[in-house]
Amino acid sequence: MNKEVKYSIVVPLYNEAANVTQLYVRVTQVMEDLEEPYEIVLVDDGSKDDTPLALRAISASDSRVRIVTLRRNFGQTPALKAGFDAARGEIIISMDGDLQHDPEEIPAFIAKLEEGYDIVSGWRAQRRDGWLSRRLPSRIANWMMGKLSGVALHDFGTTFKAYRRETLKSIHLYGELHRFIPALAAWYGARITEIPINNPPRQNGKSNYGISRTLRVFLDLLSTKFLLDYSTRPLHFFGPIGLLATGSGSLIGCGLIFSKLFGHQATMLQHGPLLFAATVLVLGGIQILCLGLAAEILSRTYYESQGKPIYAVRETRTFDPQATISVHPKLLRIDQGVPVESVPGRERFPGSEKRAIG
């Protein structure tokens, strides 16, 4: 990573020729006021208008601008991932290129990160989109995402977010999972918050979003929930379902056998549908259990073959004998068997028999 770059602004673009120049000017004005080294990473996601020409003109006039041109239109998540991979800053801020995200709000994201958070997400508290086509599906999707992921955010869908670089390193994006970056990062213990942002209406061009994305978002939500909770133990998901189905079918079958042997009933004539249901439950339950076992093998192969950890470490500390340690006077009684009081801002080492100096 280039140590000289502190901030990276990542913007995916698709047919935004009418907006990209104005966006560049506004972002530049904001970043220059921060008086810190920065770069702007503009990702052309296979635009079919004059966006590539505008990007070439911008990059030719400013060395702080990096252009990433994709071979075709891959979608927003791959475009964001390409921008994240190209970014060199310690703090990465992503935003849309349609001017519906206000660059003047970037300092607020940075200030919130400096409070100790790993991700700061924008919250479009006052949306100006269509109620039926955008706001209602978005509200339902955000509610479901919050419940299933356990991350208390009002707005998962906005691209306007700020990340610490190390947070993005452990996240792999596929499909349209960019909306679920906070949920995926929460699995690794990331500290997440949100701030309200403006949502000005689009002034130029045509929106690339529509109600057709709702179904895809729901499917991505299901896959994300499974990845977060069961990627390392898939049998815990499939097992109860398989055991319930097999157990129910077995109980029904035992009841039918009992009625046949001791009640002398014509099982096929009197309980044909029930017998069929028992058979389907037993066979279906066995198949689900086998699916869970196969998923368990695939999961272990995936993690072991790639050496992927099943945990996340925030930091590691070890004892340094040459370090100067300042011990509070209350810790002087540690060798007398008296409980030690914790003192804010001080380090204590239980079991130590050394007395503090001054």
Task: Note the pTM of the prediction, 2 decimals.
Answer: 0.67
Q: Are residues 202 and 239 in the same domain?
A: no
pLDDT surpassing 60 at residue 278: yes
Q: Is 264 within a domain?
A: yes
What is the rounded distance in angstroms from the CA atom of residue 343 to the CA atom of residue 273? 71
Q: In 3D, which of 26, 37, 35, 32 has the Cα closest to residue 96?
A: 26
H runs (alpha helix) in the chain: 20-34, 51-61, 76-86, 106-113, 136-149, 165-169, 181-187, 213-230, 235-262, 267-270, 272-305
What does the block give as tokens for 30? 């904001």
Q: Is residue 1 part of a domain?
A: no
* Domain stops at, among 229, 255, 281: 229
Task: Please write the tens of the pLDDT for every residue from 99-113.
Answer: 989 999 999 999 999
Are 60 and 190 members of one domain?
A: yes
**Among residues of the chain, what percentage have pLDDT more than 90?**
43
In contact, 227 and 310? CB cutoff 8 Å: no
Residue after which a domain boundary falls, among 195, 229, 263? 229
Nearest residue to 98 via CA among 27, 163, 12: 12
Who contacts 17 (Cβ-Cβ below 8 Å, separation ≥6)?
Answer: 47, 49, 50, 51, 53, 54, 205
Residues 29, 145, single domain; the answer is: yes
Range of the domain at 349: 320-358
Across 258-274, average pLDDT: 82
149/211 same-domain check: yes
Tell me what pLDDT residue 334 has.
40
Residue 209: pLDDT above 60?
Answer: no
pLDDT, position 341: 43
Mean pLDDT to the nearest integer, 210-237 = 74
Contacts of 86 (CB under 8 A, 6+ apart): 10, 41, 43, 66, 68
Are 155 and 71 members of one domain?
A: yes
Q: What mean pLDDT is reported for the chain?
A: 80
CA distance 111 to 205: 32
What the block records as the tokens of 126 is 């006052």
Exposure on the CB side of residue 36, measured as CA atoms within 13 A: 16
Total domain count, the chain: 3
Same domain, 278 and 198: no
pLDDT, one tens digit per residue, over 11-44 is: 999 999 999 999 999 999 999 999 999 999 999 9
User: What is the pLDDT at residue 206?
Assistant: 64
Q: Do 143 and 245 fall into the same domain?
A: no
Average pLDDT over residues 300-329: 64
Per-residue pLDDT tens over the stretch 63-81: 999 999 999 998 888 999 9
pLDDT at 298 over 90: no
User: Is 16 in the same domain as 57?
Assistant: yes
By DSSP bridging, strand 119-123 and strand 192-196 are parallel
Same domain for 299 and 342, yes or no, is: no
